[in-house]
Amino acid sequence: MTAFIEGARAGDVRMIARLISQIEDGGGAAREAMRALATFAGRAHVIGITGAPGVGKSTTTSAIITALRNDGQRVAVLAVDPSSPFSGGALLGDRIRMQRHSGDSGVYIRSMASRGHLGGLAATTPQVIRVLDAAGFDVVIIETVGVGQSEVEIAETADTSIVLSAPGMGDGIQAAKAGILEIGDIFVVNKADRDGADATARELRHMVELGSWQGWKPPVVKASAVQGTGMDEVMAAIADHRAWLAASGEDRLRRLRRAREEITALVLGAVRQRLADRSDELAALADDVLSGRTDAFAAAERFD
């Protein structure tokens, strides 16, 4: 185990990969690794990229990687894909899009399974960030698929959250409906060469104006990750936000929140484990609830 940790700290990609797998599996090895890495304070900048399916998250991530590499920074990417019986994790399209970075030792890309470990992504994501941070990556990008509750939680672990949309896909109202407006530090309207990009940007700006922002007002940037346009503005917005985080002390608050979420996820994960260990009892109680012999509250108290 110490070999993994030492290897990961030295930036050995195979050791990093094995350490992350152990974290995903949960159990004693993850625990030991976290104990060993506890004193590595957060140095890496964590960027979250989220948005509805089809807005071009992978392409945008790839463009951001390129910009960061041109700036000499080492970049790790965590792609949070729901484990699907169809895909078995990342799909071919993304792999192809990411392939241009595959020969670059300054880039590490990893798909994360969204199921499995009982603590869930809310527990594993901060731990994996810690590993990548200790391994010397300057930036960690977390790319989440979709816009649900658990993904909002993951986005909240980022220092800088980028919410991506595209014309005709998810306009401002749809973004508000999906609850992603409140988590965005930067809004990027991708596919800016398409009809409706200006309208989408205008609507997002209007939504931002309606919100109550303190200290940082999220900019709305138009870009085309495929054509490479607007990426300078995206990178400038990221740098601005990072500077604001440091100057305002908000970076420390976000990292405290991340630690709190990690502890909470581990506590809940332990309870889930206890429920899994007593699954026969849980099944019998579910049967009792279904047949009206008891109610769900009374059944839940049996696990107190």
Positions 44 through 103 that interact with a second copy (CB under 8 A): 52-54, 81-87, 91, 93
DSSP state string for 53-76:
TTS-HHHHHHHHHHHHHHTT--EE
224 forms beta bridges with 229
**Could you tell me which stretch among 7-15, 99-107, 234-242, 250-258 binds a second copy (CB under 8 A)?**
250-258
- Using CB under 8 A as the binding rule, whether residue 17 contacts a second copy is answered as no
Assigned token pair, 253 = 């608050």
- Using CB under 8 A as the binding rule, whether residue 255 contacts a second copy is answered as yes
- Using CB under 8 A as the binding rule, whether residue 41 contacts a second copy is answered as yes
Rule CB under 8 A: choose which of 62, 134, 146, 188 binds a second copy. Answer: 146
- Using CB under 8 A as the binding rule, whether residue 116 contacts a second copy is answered as no
Q: What are phi and psi of 230, to 5 degrees?
A: 80, -5
CA distance 55 to 57: 6
CA distance 84 to 89: 6
- Using CB under 8 A as the binding rule, whether residue 256 contacts a second copy is answered as yes
Site string for a second copy, 189-228 (x = CB under 8 A): ------------------x--xxx----------------
Q: Is the Cβ of residue 105 or residue 149 nearer to a second copy in the bound state? A: 149
| CA proximity to 178, closest of 156, 167, 163 | 163
- Minimum Å distance from CB 84 to a second copy? 5
Alpha helices per DSSP H over 156-295? 172-177, 197-210, 231-248, 250-277, 279-290
- Minimum Å distance from CB 181 to a second copy? 6
Assigned token pair, 77 = 């990417």
- Minimum Å distance from CB 171 to a second copy? 7
Site string for a second copy, 165-194 (x = CB under 8 A): ---xxxx-xxxxxxx-xx------------
Strands 220-222, 160-165: parallel, antiparallel or unpaired by DSSP? unpaired
Q: Is the Cβ of residue 41 or residue 105 nearer to a second copy in the bound state? A: 41
